[in-house]
Amino acid sequence: MRFNGISVLMPVYCRTFSAENIRGIRRALLSVLGQPCQIPVEITVVDDGSRFPISEQPALKDLFRDSRVRSVRLKQNSGIVFALNTGLQAVRYDLIARIDSDDAWRPGKLATQLRRMADDPDLTIVGTGMRLIHSDRRRDEELIRPESWSGLVRFAAQVGCPFPHGSILARRSVFELLGGYSHDAAVTHCEDYAMWIRWLRFFKGATIPEVFYEYTVSETAVSGLCARSQQLAAETLRHAFLRLNSGEKIPEHMDRIARALDVPLTEAGKYCFLAWRFYSVILAEAPLYDALKVILPDRHVVPADKTAAIPHERILWFSNDAFPRHLAADPVHTLETLQDFQEV
């Protein structure tokens, strides 16, 4: 699949401007602008209501004059989720990456991720390893998540967030399909984890086992200031995902669904997500029934010959074949109903 470019989202909020945070912003921007890449790259800086416009700071004006750097300024501070979703609406390209204003990428990050996506057209998101940068550099450490889709699903269910947010390169179309980042108060400060566990349930992901992302550990960052509430939200998400009891079986059964429908894996993921999002009852023929029970354990998946027991709710006939009208189920939607949604 050919992509028209990469949009890098960088939300920033500065109550005051210090030499330290100006240096951090410059470092972050330059680490993106210096990436060799065969397709266009833009940086969308979402100024989340800083007291003074970031783009007008004298020490940053030269970078904002670069045509690849765009500024979207919010009138008031609205929080990172609102800033990220505003950025998603403003971007121009097919692929989305993320960086925070005090972090940096190592050379070759985007090129390596693009090669990985070119090698596997089913991939929708690729993360990398990261290095935690402490003020006491002796405490620095490198972290690398599992490489495979099944390994990432297992990590998300048993450990925590499967991707360092600033490491990802992902399809914009999937962000849009999933509805962007959640404003649910229950996932406050874990908007990325909430996104990835929904993403990996339906769409293929991978990690490049090499460090390309440098994360600055700071007591003034959200992860420092709100560590306890972030931990509680993460545990809530992890236990909810664990209760689905799908785990490492997800990739295998998503592949079965794609083959049964004779569609790409990304299209099968779209159908399964939309079935989960909009329907309480899913009718499935034998080749699909077992796989859909794994992917949609929190929905009422019914064998096609058991329609007499179906309650009168919104029903989806999950098959490429025409719905057998002699089965008493009404109203029934088919996969054709879902084909108008954007491609992923």
Residue range 262-303, pLDDT digits in tens = 999 999 999 999 999 998 889 898 889 999 999 999 999 988
Residue range 20-54, pLDDT digits in tens = 999 999 999 999 999 999 999 999 999 999 999 99
Instruction: Please report the beta strands in 48-176, taking only residues with DSSP state E, as ranges in sequence order.
Output: 69-73, 95-98, 104-105, 125-133, 141-143, 169-171
- pTM of the entire predicted model: 0.92
Matching residue, tokens 């992302």: 213
Domain ranges of the chain: 6-243, 262-338
Average pLDDT for 120-132: 98
CA distance 306 to 54: 61
Q: Specify whether the CB–CB gap between 314 and 279 falls below 8 A.
A: yes
Given a cut of 60, whether residue 308 has pLDDT beyond it is no
Before 11, cis peptide (omega within 30)?
Answer: no
Q: Determine which of 253-257, 275-279, 332-336 has the lowest per-residue pLDDT on average.
A: 332-336
Given a cut of 70, whether residue 222 has pLDDT beyond it is no
- Give the number of other CB atoms < 10 A from CB of residue 236: 15
The residue type at 112: T
Given a cut of 90, whether residue 185 has pLDDT beyond it is no
Instruction: Return the CA Rg of the chain.
Output: 22
What are the CA-CA distances from residue 157 to residues 18, 92, 290 (Å)? 40, 33, 21
Q: What is the pLDDT of residue 326?
A: 47
CATH code reported for the domain at 6-243: 3.90.550.10
- Give the residue with greater pLDDT, 241 vs 161: 161
Given a cut of 60, whether residue 186 has pLDDT beyond it is yes
User: For the chain, what is the mean pLDDT?
Assistant: 90
Matching residue, tokens 């390994």: 151
Q: Determine which of 44-48, 140-144, 180-184, 282-286 has the lowest per-residue pLDDT on average.
A: 282-286
Q: What is the pLDDT of residue 325?
A: 53
Q: Determine which of 92-96, 256-260, 324-328 has the lowest per-residue pLDDT on average.
A: 324-328
* Token digits of residue 41: 């790259």
Matching residue, tokens 């109903």: 337
What are the CA-CA distances from residue 320 to residues 65, 209, 257, 324, 334 (Å)? 52, 38, 11, 12, 8
